[in-house]
Amino acid sequence: MAMVAGVTTRQSPGRSTRRGVLMGAEVVIEGLTKSFGKQAIWRDVSLTLPPGEVSVMLGPSGTGKSVFLKSMIGLLKPDRGSCVINGVDIVTCSEHRLYETRKLFGVLFQDGALFGSMNLYDNVAFPLREHTKKSESEIKRIVLEKLEMTGLAGAEKKLPGEISGGMRKRAGLARALVLDPEIILCDEPDSGLDPVRTAYLSQLLIDLNAQIDATILIVTHNINLARTVPDNIGMLFRKELVMFGPREVLLTSDEPVVEQFLNGRRLGPIGMSEEKDSAQMAREQAQADAGHHDGSTEDVRGVVPQLQPTPGLPERKGVRRRKDRVMKILHTLPPAAQEGIIDSLTPEEQHRYGVDASTLAASGRHHSDFRAGPTDTVELPVIRNSGSIS
């Protein structure tokens, strides 16, 4: 498989190492709030992207997901709050620090943001020519490696206008990879792609994570991607972060907004223009009760297996770290999420962590105790010294 060949374990300046192994950076966001003039976009967003894990941010159109990504890299200035990466708060740091910290990020913008008059080679080489003093022969090696990793070997002479949407996304991703990012942000990487291309892209993101262990945040509307790709899921709605936590929590949640979104249903709090009033909700409920079928398929609920790296690639280190992290907070999670997490462990792991199906029965809690209110978030514990966990 072509993508396997491009595995990089090379060290480069600015890439943090722990025990000599490259690892993505942790991103700690606290109380982040953004408005444009009088228009509040979202407030008090707090979440932690654990190092090397893949997270997805869901949310209806216009809830400020793109604004959130741009705020994380300092392209937009939040009103208050902090976003700390490697000890630097990008909200309050100097221009110089911001410029330096931004190099830790690889960003795939919503439209790919390729230069239309440059071929793919020059597009992908651009950040290297802009931000490094590398020689053209070194640049060539890196560009060809990233094009191969993203399945674009041989397409370097093509102009963005000559290739499919899926290829443009992958070229944007190749460009996001050239500076060896610790954090990769993808804004709706699946938009405009057919389901098959989206499945390939999902696989590519997981394979990349296995190869470079970068922290990844994906903004998407794609339910299938959200259910199968990330370790953690969050959701923005009504100007707030409704929830953010391990995938098992969101996938088994009975929070109405989360359930409606993950099922792509009309019935629920989310309406045509984001929110709906109670009269509209009652009308739709009455129609449904009277047998009107709203086109949605059967409810999808529960924890489905997570996408694995392509055979032959290394294991995802984030998955291993996450097990330790999630097992520490297991007792704080709703029973359905606990069950999903315990089920995902091998018998050996269950033994090592000292859990099995009876752990749940013993906890004796009721699901309703854990219903998250609109402002509750499932907090991820901050593991700052993850390198010490085997």
CB of 187 to Mg ion, least distance (A): 6
Per CB under 6 A, which of residues 229..288 are in contact with ligand ADP?
Answer: none
Q: Which option in Mg ion, ligand ADP, none does residue 115 bind, with CB closer than 5 to 8 A by kind?
A: none
Dist. CA 278–CA 90, nearest whole Å: 40
- 12 versus 61: smaller Cβ distance to ligand ADP: 61
Dist. CA 233–CA 242, nearest whole Å: 11
Query: Both tokens of residue 200?
Result: 């390939």
Cβ–Cβ < 8 Å for 49, 86: no
Dist. CA 6–CA 31, nearest whole Å: 39
Q: In the stretch 18-57, what mask flags binding to ligand ADP with x, by CB under 6 A? A: ------------------x----x----------------
CB of 63 to ligand ADP, least distance (A): 4
Q: Out of 24, 50, 51, 64, point to the residue binding ligand ADP (CB under 6 A).
A: 64
Please choose, out of 63-71, 193-201, 266-274, 374-382, the segment that lies near ligand ADP by the rule CB under 6 A: 63-71
- 67 versus 218: smaller Cβ distance to ligand ADP: 67
Distances (CA, A) of 302 to 58, 343, 366: 17, 12, 17
- 23 versus 57: smaller Cβ distance to ligand ADP: 57
Binding-residue total with ligand ADP (CB under 6 A): 10
C-alpha neighbours within 13 Å on the C-beta side of residue 268: 19
Supply the DSSP string of 336-355, one letter for each residue: HHHHHHHHTS-HHHHHHHT-
Q: Out of 62, 264, 302, 381, point to the residue binding ligand ADP (CB under 6 A).
A: 62
CB of 114 to Mg ion, least distance (A): 18
Which residue reads 């259910």 in tokens?
A: 227
Please choose, out of 59-67, 142-150, 164-172, 245-253, the segment that lies near ligand ADP by the rule CB under 6 A: 59-67
- Residue ranges of alpha helices (H) inside the chain are 65-72, 95-102, 120-131, 136-149, 165-177, 195-212, 223-228, 247-251, 256-263, 278-289, 317-329, 335-343, 347-353, 357-363
Please choose, out of 2-10, 61-69, 245-253, 305-313, the segment that lies near ligand ADP by the rule CB under 6 A: 61-69
Binding-residue total with Mg ion (CB under 5 A): 1
CB of 307 to ligand ADP, least distance (A): 24
- 8 versus 66: smaller Cβ distance to Mg ion: 66
Question: What is the DSSP code (8-state) at residue 154?
Answer: T
Q: Which option in ligand ADP, Mg ion, none does residue 48 bind, with CB closer than 5 to 8 A by kind?
A: none
By CB under 6 A, tell whether 63 contacts ligand ADP.
yes
N residues, the chain = 390
Which residue reads 């990089």 in tokens?
A: 8
Long-range contacts: 323-327, Cβ < 8 Å, 24+? 323/349, 323/353, 324/383, 324/389, 325/50, 325/380, 325/381, 325/383, 325/386, 326/246, 326/248, 327/353, 327/355
By CB under 5 A, tell whether 332 contacts Mg ion.
no
3-state secondary structure of 2: helix
By CB under 5 A, tell whether 66 contacts Mg ion.
yes
Please choose, out of 66-74, 157-165, 190-198, 259-267, the segment that lies near Mg ion by the rule CB under 5 A: 66-74
Q: Out of 9, 11, 12, 61, point to the residue binding ligand ADP (CB under 6 A).
A: 61
Dist. CA 231–CA 52, nearest whole Å: 10
- Cα angle at 80 between 75 and 82, to 5 degrees? 75
Applying CB under 6 A, the residues found at the interface with ligand ADP are 36, 41, 59, 61-67
Instruction: Provide the binding-site residues for Mg ion, judged by CB under 5 A.
Output: 66
